[in-house]
Structure 1
Amino acid sequence: MPQANALPLTATTLRPAPHTSVREAVLDLLRAFKIDTIFGNPGSTELPLFLDFPPDFRYILGLQESVVVGMADGYAQATRNAAFVNLHSAAGVGHAMGNIFTAHKNRTPMVITAGQQARSILPFDPFLFSSQATELPKPYVKWSIEPARAEDVPLAIARAYYIAMQQPRGPVLVSIPADDWEKSCEPVQARLVSTETRPEPHVLNAIGHTLDAAERPAFVVGAAVDRDAAWPEVVALAERHNAAVWVAPMSGRCGFPEDHRLFAGFLPAMREKIVSLLAGHDVIFALGAAAFTYHVEGFGPHVPPGAQLVQLIEDPGIAAWAPVGTSAVGGIRLGVQDLLARPAPKARALPAPRPPRPRAEPSALMSVAYVMQTLAEVRAADSIVVEEAPSSRAAMQNYLPILHSETFYTMCSGGLGHGLPAAVGVALAKPDKKVIGLIGDGSSMYSIQALWSAAQLKLPITFIILKNRRYAALQEFAPTFGFQPGETLQGTDLPELDFLALARGQGCDAIHVRDAARLAGALREALHSPRPLLLEVEVA
């Protein structure tokens, strides 16, 4: 017998759920997720998505898939929302893998869709299909799927978005057969899903007690501070403890104002040098950073003898491999807010200030330091620097201070080809800010096609190419592996690259500067240009 209050199961009460096409269901989901931009380089298997393309969406075309993902990475970081990317099947995903790896290291939320051949011909190994579509991007996506049925595609997109946005954030991939988009399915409603985590109170309390008892604490801040919008809280916590603040090795964001009285400098990715620079501190707090990122083999302790290491990080995997110390796993902003809620610690003396740098002077062939110093003097303090010039990074850190949150982006991966398209993505996301792409000549050639996208979109980006005619970072790194001074290092010279021709050929204005006396004027002209402009600067 039916229950007294239950409706009988009749044809009049069991109405079928409303149906729509997979395409419309996915587009409605994206609208609910506040996504109205698709980054792509279309192939034949992606075309059905764009049938009757809706007027409330915009399509951002990149001329190569790595450029597409780089633009989406910059856009997602700057908007703090997952970017939606549409790639071709196996070959397109393969082209994009370098910047997918960088998005993984940057912890950038990104929903990547990849076309697949129609289900009906998959048994016949058709042209341009992906035989193991879900395996191809691994291990550099958080999740990947090719839905079992066309009807499952919207649910897969929803799940992908939630996974991409959950800390630690990152890219995901959904492989979609070409004939799925027209199929009928039930619509999927967007849900409110938590994307942040809070550290366990007892672990955070242990860190708080350690900080309170410290005599000479040091903070090592990483990219997760800025990613998690925790800049003001971290500044307040550092001021409460009068802690010297260092930037973690290979940090892709700036987590602390570099003109602050407590700012101490940058740590290199070398174990012995990190220990040397942190000597004298009795507690080291790795805040939104690994403890620590190394680039070369090292030996000895990971922290100075007698020092305690504590860590707050949103990534449990990073916490798991920390070699020593106490690690709290959770969102940086929420964790620091909890630490700030503790009673104020005892008063401490200020640490010694960072020694001032001598001014860089002009020379016949400009030093990178002089270029950075001049740029710092003429740019607006809240302009955004997107950097990919590895051999120039030390000079940038010394002479081009970053002063505000969300005004510095680079790659956490070490993989080249991210910076130039990322500058385009950041400029798309922040049209009210001046974006400066600070790129090495070697780095720029990995994704030079992004200049075309900047020109087509009429984005007033200033691209500064530091032209030293070589892969300088490799030449400077060579002695680590036994190369002798003056010894030839094959494959590292870059003669006869004409960046003015490359820029103008893609629709960008361009200026060449070799004379130091002209640099400030050329920079001002470039920074005030209403169109994308490339400034080729010859440096020593």
Structure 2
Amino acid sequence: MGNRTVRDATRELLRELGLTTVFGNPGSTELAFLADWPDDFTYVLGLQEATVVAMADGYAQAGRRPVLVNLHSAGGVGHSLGSVFTAFRNRTPMVIIAGQQLRNLLPDEPYLGATEAANFPKPYVKWSHEPASAEEVPGAIARAFHIATQEPQGPVFLSVPSDDWDVETSKPIVSRPRIPGFAPDPDALIELAAALDASERPGLVVGAAVDAEGVVPEVVALAERLNAGVWASPMSARCSFPEDHPLFLGFLHPERKLITAALQAHDLVVVLGAPAFTYHVYHGEPELSLPPLYLVSDDEQLLARPAEGVAIRSTQRLAIRALNAAVGEVERATPEPLARPERPVETSPISAPYVYSVLAELLPDNAIVVEEAPSHRNDLHNHLPITSTDGGFLTMASGTLGYALPAAVGAALASPERPVVAVLGDGSSMYSVQGLWTAAQHGLPVTFVILDNSQYAALRALGAAMGAEKIPGAELGGIDFPGLARSMGCEAASVSEAAELKGALEAAFASSRPTLVHVTVDSAFHKLY
């Protein structure tokens, strides 16, 4: 056996950390890292770096586990940055290792060299570093892992010169256990529990961090104990409360006046695992004030924003469990239940609400829905309630398109025991359509449902709300989605009549292969907020 190299030490470390599934798209500066690839490691190839990062993001989110990504120098990192931004907003525990040119070539700005490599992905990584020497590499990876997996979690970045991997090292690598979450200040918790006990009409606003920590059942128990109505936070990337529960009140829109009006029904609001609040549009300042507000979050940056209310720093699991133990039994009136619209009827052309209603009828209870159809988000909320209390819904928190198709592939790799359905707009699917190839290569039974209205309808809807009726670059059409899917090894079906939809979806769900269902929907676009 030869002497121990940095590559050997790194692989020992990655095994200890559970990072033996690597998502990547290789180049010359990664060859030394990939050489003599171990049989107990899995390399998931994506055909473009933004797709690679989004697949890894879905894998980490669905599996609630950290993930390793390998990118190619400055070019590959540049391609990936939109998805890195999403991973940052999604709070994804992701370690990114990018190849760098040989150390002795770097002073001359060589071909494929990354200038100021550690600065390139900032500010959308928690930590970014290029080790000063080869022997520092394994230790830097260990540090990166701990930074990525500490709450609030997020991506980290390392640039590693390609000749570092073959350097011999005797330096020991210390692998410490992941750092657990942290509890709220006891006095702050007592204050919050007392405020809830005194409240007559409390409300909860839940965000993605609740489901990311796997404590939705505890939130359900808290809401039932308080008899409190529960809202989903604006633009939440996960479902943190079952939407068929009688205490679920709906979705807050990302606009100040609408949020303020919706929360007037409460005399106290507690925000769990979300900002207070995320905004997308501005219609002026509200005339009314928000009710008294408590914000429970692990993110010191979020808690430092100029917002109303009392901030309590804690991870969600410990805060919610402590609240369940601290609040008393108080008689309260039950909030008015959420009124849902009637099930849509069959129309020609097919409406997006009808597609969602059929999906709601057919989806297994343990399915994961990965969504990126922005112009139809309200239709999804109205007609496809997510009822799972364990990671039943994923989307991007950043608003950057191209997440859902590859994220569904990553989710299926992480949770092979669960059906995965991606619901996509025609425009958003084309940002990362290469992910279909990876799904086919791994034989993943993912169903990709494309709602094709031949346009960027969300852009048109927002433009219309601004009074901008004529906008260039919003018209699409002429894309052969079934042909694209078949060319990459997937099965495919086309649906243009409502009567065909149920059968096509049933066949897709029953297939053992990745299947794309292309649905032509009406071109009408609706007000988003």
Q: Is the pair's TM-score, using the shorter chain for normalization, greater than 0.5?
A: yes
Partner of residue 482 from structure 1, selected from 464, 467, 472: 467
The range that moved more, 117-126 or 184-193, is 184-193
The range that moved more, 197-206 or 325-334, is 197-206
1:523 aligns with 2:505: yes
CA contact (8 A) 2:193 2:327 kept: no
CA contact (8 A) 1:282 1:306 kept: no
The CA deviation at 1:340 is: 1.1
2:294 aligns to what? 310
1:14 aligns to what? none
1:260 aligns to what? 245
2:400 aligns to what? 415
Partner of residue 151 from structure 1, selected from 135, 139, 159: 135
SS in 2 for 1:245: strand
Give the CA RMSD over aligned residues.
1.3
CA contact (8 A) 1:19 1:187 kept: no
SS in 1 for 2:137: helix
1:12 aligns to what? none
- Letter of the 2:193 counterpart: G
- Letter of the 2:207 counterpart: G
Q: Deviations over 1:305-348 (max 9, x none)?
A: 37201111111111111511001111001101111111424121
Work out the CA distance in 1 between the residues paired with 2:518 and 2:289.
47
CA contact (8 A) 1:382 1:403 kept: no
Q: Deviations over 1:153-206 (max 9, x none)?
A: 000000000000000000000100000001112241311241412221222222
Partner of residue 320 from structure 2, selected from 320, 336, 353: 336
1:500 aligns to what? 482
**Within-5 A mapping of 1:384-403:** 384-403=368-387
Q: Deviations over 1:188-232 (max 9, x none)?
A: 131124141222122222222211111111111110110111111
1:13 aligns to what? none
CA contact (8 A) 1:162 1:195 kept: no
1:240 aligns to what? 225
Work out the CA distance in 2 between the residues paired with 1:108 and 1:272.
31
CA contact (8 A) 1:248 1:266 kept: yes
Work out the CA distance in 1 between the residues paired with 2:41 and 2:141.
17
SS in 2 for 1:181: helix
Partner of residue 231 from structure 1, selected from 213, 216, 220: 216
Partner of residue 105 from structure 1, selected from 71, 89, 98: 89
SS in 1 for 2:474: coil
The CA deviation at 1:301 is: 4.9
SS in 1 for 2:265: coil
The CA deviation at 1:270 is: 0.6
1:217 aligns to what? 202
Structure index of larger Rg: 1
SS in 2 for 1:250: coil
Work out the CA distance in 2 between the residues paired with 1:181 and 1:213.
61
1:429 aligns to what? 414
CA contact (8 A) 1:510 1:535 kept: yes
Normalising by structure 1, report the TM-score. Answer: 0.94
2:341 aligns to what? 357
Q: How many residues align?
A: 519
**Within-5 A mapping of 1:86-105:** 86-105=70-89
SS in 2 for 1:55: coil
CA contact (8 A) 2:92 2:154 kept: yes
CA contact (8 A) 1:108 1:171 kept: yes
**Within-5 A mapping of 1:68-83:** 68-83=52-67
CA contact (8 A) 1:423 1:437 kept: yes
2:257 aligns to what? 272
Work out the CA distance in 2 between the residues paired with 1:399 and 1:359.
7
Partner of residue 310 from structure 2, selected from 316, 320, 326: 326
1:206 aligns with 2:191: yes
1:289 aligns with 2:274: yes
* Identical counterparts, % of pairs: 50
Work out the CA distance in 1 between the residues paired with 2:479 and 2:290.
52
The range that moved more, 120-129 or 149-158, is 120-129
Q: Specify every segment of 5 or more residues in structure 1 that has no aligned partner in the other structure, as ranges.
A: 1-17
1:60 aligns to what? 44
1:443 aligns to what? 428
The CA deviation at 1:300 is: 2.9
Work out the CA distance in 1 between the residues paired with 2:88 and 2:344.
37
Q: Deviations over 1:460-510 (max 9, x none)?
A: 000000001000001111123222xxx322100102011011111111111
The CA deviation at 1:297 is: 2.3
SS in 2 for 1:184: coil
Work out the CA distance in 1 between the residues paired with 2:338 and 2:465.
28
CA contact (8 A) 1:20 1:187 kept: no
Partner of residue 110 from structure 2, selected from 126, 132, 145: 126
**Within-5 A mapping of 1:188-207:** 188-207=173-192
Q: Specify every segment of 5 or more residues in structure 2 that has no aligned partner in the other structure, as ranges.
A: 523-529
CA contact (8 A) 2:72 2:98 kept: yes
1:373 aligns with 2:357: yes
The CA deviation at 1:296 is: 1.4
Residues 345, 300 of structure 1: CA spacing in aligned structure 2 closer, same or farther, 3 A cutoff?
Answer: farther
CA contact (8 A) 2:494 2:517 kept: yes
Work out the CA distance in 1 between the residues paired with 2:515 and 2:395.
20
Residues 19, 339 of structure 1: CA spacing in aligned structure 2 closer, same or farther, 3 A cutoff?
Answer: farther
CA contact (8 A) 1:387 1:409 kept: yes
CA contact (8 A) 2:49 2:80 kept: yes
Partner of residue 146 from structure 2, selected from 162, 169, 194: 162
- Letter of the 1:73 counterpart: D
Work out the CA distance in 2 between the residues paired with 1:459 and 1:77.
17
CA contact (8 A) 2:405 2:429 kept: yes
Residues 182, 277 of structure 1: CA spacing in aligned structure 2 closer, same or farther, 3 A cutoff?
Answer: same
Work out the CA distance in 1 between the residues paired with 2:219 and 2:415.
24
SS in 2 for 1:537: strand
CA contact (8 A) 2:271 2:295 kept: yes
The CA deviation at 1:101 is: 0.0
1:40 aligns to what? 24
The CA deviation at 1:298 is: 4.3
Work out the CA distance in 1 between the residues paired with 2:366 and 2:163.
47
Work out the CA distance in 2 between the residues paired with 1:416 and 1:89.
23
Work out the CA distance in 1 between the residues paired with 2:186 and 2:257.
33
Q: Deviations over 1:65-116 (max 9, x none)?
A: 0010000001111222211000001111000000000000000000000000
CA contact (8 A) 1:290 1:322 kept: no
SS in 2 for 1:258: coil
- Letter of the 1:40 counterpart: G
Normalising by structure 2, report the TM-score. Answer: 0.96
CA contact (8 A) 2:260 2:290 kept: no
SS in 2 for 1:279: helix
CA contact (8 A) 2:196 2:327 kept: no
CA contact (8 A) 1:36 1:56 kept: yes
Work out the CA distance in 2 between the residues paired with 1:205 and 1:27.
47
The range that moved more, 72-81 or 140-149, is 72-81
